[in-house]
């Protein structure tokens, strides 16, 4: 993107996007523990809280939807056992960006190894596809998520990818182990918020040191959890979803119920100036009119 001021040619501005996927996170639990970093990102940008019903509330279908912009009824993934085959017809955001411009730098760094099946699919695929090796003696996945975050921070600092997607898993682990109303789940929310803070700090430091780069952070989850743990059904606790969008194209304090995880990829391609796929079920969250103020509570 080239900017001109008063007819004078200004520096070329380069857009960069970090997408943070937080497995099993419910936004009402963010509010319950007053997680400072997620609340700050929400306040500094757009927050949408809504439902993904009747979409399947399982990680495989949901992260596939995040990374393709189409619902489960199209990509056909029903559970966590899947191959790269669906992404030939419905390519991931990595493939869409690489096809538009092979010089794009696209990274996927994830705790859950099935993210690599998605990011490593297609031709061309993401430039970098990393699954964090499980850290020994890590029963709650906090150490492994911290290692994922360290790799993400390093990639932002050293390589400044045009798109970086990351996935952190410990909240979902706590939900399955102890339930969404447990102290363990809330502790996992607090810990994951610290990792989000590390990523946001790396983005902000990089942006401050490189004013030609325009950085956007998008945050979402794949599903919620039942009070006693588990997901896969259509209850409000399982279908709850949120999206945070903080960056130059979003107004601080905007709240809405318009957007869900299906809108992540359409927003990424819009931010990076790539034409939207005609297959998209989602839409870009960059709007030319004010977002509505009806926040779901």
Domains in the chain: boundaries: 13-271
Query: Is the Cβ–Cβ distance between 159 and 107 less than 8 Å?
Result: yes
Exposed/middle/buried for residue 289 (C-beta within 10 Å: 0-12, 13-18, 19+): exposed
pLDDT score for 274? 97
Report the alpha-carbon distance of residue 261 to residue 64 in Å, rounded. 10
> Over the stretch 242-264, which tens digit does the pLDDT of each residue have?
999 999 999 999 999 999 999 99
Gyration radius of the chain's alpha carbons? 18
Exposed/middle/buried for residue 34 (C-beta within 10 Å: 0-12, 13-18, 19+): exposed
DSSP conformation class of 268: H
Alpha helix (H) residue ranges in the chain: 27-33, 36-44, 59-68, 72-75, 86-89, 93-100, 114-119, 142-158, 170-178, 183-209, 236-239, 264-271
Q: Is the pLDDT of residue 120 over 80?
A: yes
- Domain covering 13-271, topology: Alkaline Phosphatase, subunit A (3.40.720)
140 Cα distance to chain centroid: 21
pLDDT score for 60? 98
> Over the stretch 144-181, which tens digit does the pLDDT of each residue have?
999 999 999 999 999 999 999 999 999 999 999 999 99
Model confidence, pTM: 0.93
End-to-end CA distance of the chain: 38
Which residues on adjacent β-strands are paired with residue 168? 22
């Amino acid at each position: 993107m080239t900017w001109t001021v008063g007819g004078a040619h200004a520096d070329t501005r380069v857009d960069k996007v970090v997408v943070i996927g937080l497995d099993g996170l419910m936004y009402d639990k963010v509010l319950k523990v007053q997680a400072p970093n997620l609340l700050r990102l929400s306040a500094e940008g757009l927050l949408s809280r809504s439902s993904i019903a009747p979409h399947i509330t399982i990680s495989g279908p949901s992260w596939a939807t995040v990374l393709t912009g189409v619902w489960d009824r199209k990509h056909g993934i029903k559970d966590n056992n899947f191959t790269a085959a669906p992404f030939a017809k419905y390519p991931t955001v990595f493939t869409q960006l690489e096809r538009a411009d092979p010089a794009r730098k696209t990274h996927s760094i994830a705790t859950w190894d099935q993210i690599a099946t998605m990011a490593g699919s297609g031709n061309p695929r993401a430039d970098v596809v990393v699954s964090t090796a499980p850290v020994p003696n890590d029963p709650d996945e906090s150490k492994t998520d911290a290692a994922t975050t360290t790799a993400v921070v390093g990639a932002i600092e050293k390589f400044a990818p045009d798109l970086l997607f990351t996935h952190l898993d410990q909240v979902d682990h706590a939900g399955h182990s102890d339930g969404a109303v447990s102290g363990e789940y809330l502790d996992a929310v607090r810990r994951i918020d610290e990792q989000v803070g590390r990523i946001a700090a790396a983005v902000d430091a990089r942006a401050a040191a490189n004013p030609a780069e325009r950085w956007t952070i998008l945050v979402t989850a794949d599903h919620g959890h039942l009070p006693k743990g588990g997901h896969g059904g259509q209850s409000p606790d399982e279908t709850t979803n949120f999206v945070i969008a903080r960056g130059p194209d979003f107004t601080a304090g905007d709240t809405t119920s318009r957007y869900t995880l299906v809108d992540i990829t359409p927003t990424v391609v819009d931010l990076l100036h790539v034409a939207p796929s005609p297959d998209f079920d989602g839409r870009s969250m960059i709007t030319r009119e004010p977002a509505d103020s009806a926040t779901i509570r």
